[in-house]
């Protein structure tokens, strides 16, 4: 155990090229998925919070429930869509990083939408009457409320990033864990553990945790700076 740890640290210290490549792919895929999820999920969540329409409560329930979508099932559905005989088969995306981005985007969009809806709904309880009395259209009200809660939304984004970077089911099913192409931190850790290269598995695990801490620290510092500057 101690030996394994020592070897892990040694490999980290030498900044193994393979480890760096794997970490970079993981980061790229998950950050892209979070970007897609934010672009789709924040407007969706904000509109559900602001606009009254029949079936809204049901949609809110559905959104909340889909925060718990099992990654492996999302992977399976994307796999079926992208497989050669599937409707999106001709795109030839299966077992590519793009497929992994698609699967993780599907995973984090409802999470971001559901958290945004709750955060915006709380702000709407405070500001809603005022914005309605200014006769602003719903999309404008939603936009202003998103602007108002922008610092709180950082937490939703971080939660989505945490879910994406740490999941294995979706990236494994649609990415295929191809060495040097679609191998991510989580799929590599799982593989190396099975192969018995515990030192590499542990090294990757340390890097993964380090990455998560780094991204969260960066977001927290940016948020604190922005709050100080803009109240």
Partner 1 sequence: MSAAIPPNPSLPPNPSLPPNPSLPLRLDGLVYRAGPKTIIDGLDATIAAPGITALIGPNGAGKSVTLRLIDGLLRPDAGTVRIGEGAPVRRAFLFQRPALLRASAARNVALALAPLGLERRERAARTRAALARVGLLDRADDPATRFSGGEQQRLALARALVGEPQLLLLDEPTASLDPAATERIEAVVAEIARGGTKVILVSHNLGQVARLADDVVVLARGRAVEHGPMAQVVFQPKTAQARAYLKGELPWTAYAAAS
Residues that bind partner 1 (CB under 8 A): 126-127, 129-136, 140, 144, 147-148, 150-151, 230-231
86's tokens: 């599937």
For the bound state, the minimum distance from the C-beta of residue 133 to partner 1, rounded and expressed in Å, comes to 4
For the bound state, the minimum distance from the C-beta of residue 53 to partner 1, rounded and expressed in Å, comes to 16
Of 91 and 136, CB closest to partner 1: 136
CA distance 64 to 61: 5
Of 54 and 231, CB closest to partner 1: 231
For the bound state, the minimum distance from the C-beta of residue 217 to partner 1, rounded and expressed in Å, comes to 23
CA distance 112 to 132: 25
Of 7 and 148, CB closest to partner 1: 148
CB atoms within 10 A of CB 29: 26
For the bound state, the minimum distance from the C-beta of residue 137 to partner 1, rounded and expressed in Å, comes to 8
146: region left, alpha or beta (phi > 0 left; psi from -120 to 50 alpha): alpha
Of 178 and 227, CB closest to partner 1: 227
CB-CB contact of 203 with 192 (8 Å): no
Closest CA to 172 of 10, 26, 38: 26
């Amino acid at each position: 155990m101690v030996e394994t740890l020592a070897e892990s640290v040694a490999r980290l210290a030498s900044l193994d090229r393979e480890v760096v490549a794997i970490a970079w792919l993981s980061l790229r895929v998950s950050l892209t998925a979070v970007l897609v999820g934010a672009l789709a999920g924040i407007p969706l969540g904000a509109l559900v919070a602001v606009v009254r329409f029949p079936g809204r409560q049901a949609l809110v329930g559905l959104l909340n429930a889909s925060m718990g979508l099992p990654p492996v099932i999302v992977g399976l559905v994307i796999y079926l869509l992208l497989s050669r005989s599937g409707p999106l088969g001709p795109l030839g995306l299966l077992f590519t990083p793009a497929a992994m981005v698609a699967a993780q985007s599907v995973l984090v969009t409802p999470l971001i939408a559901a958290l945004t809806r709750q955060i915006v709904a709380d702000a709407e309880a405070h500001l809603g009457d005022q914005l309605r009395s200014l006769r602003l259209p719903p999309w404008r009200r939603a936009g202003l409320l998103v602007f108002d809660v922008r610092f709180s939304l950082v937490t939703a984004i971080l939660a989505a990033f945490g879910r994406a970077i740490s999941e294995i089911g979706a990236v494994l099913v649609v990415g295929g864990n191809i060495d040097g192409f679609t191998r991510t931190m989580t799929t590599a850790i799982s593989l190396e553990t099975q192969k018995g290269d515990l030192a590499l598995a542990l090294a990757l695990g340390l890097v993964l945790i380090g990455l998560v801490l780094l991204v969260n620290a960066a977001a927290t510092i940016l948020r604190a700076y922005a709050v100080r500057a803009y109240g």
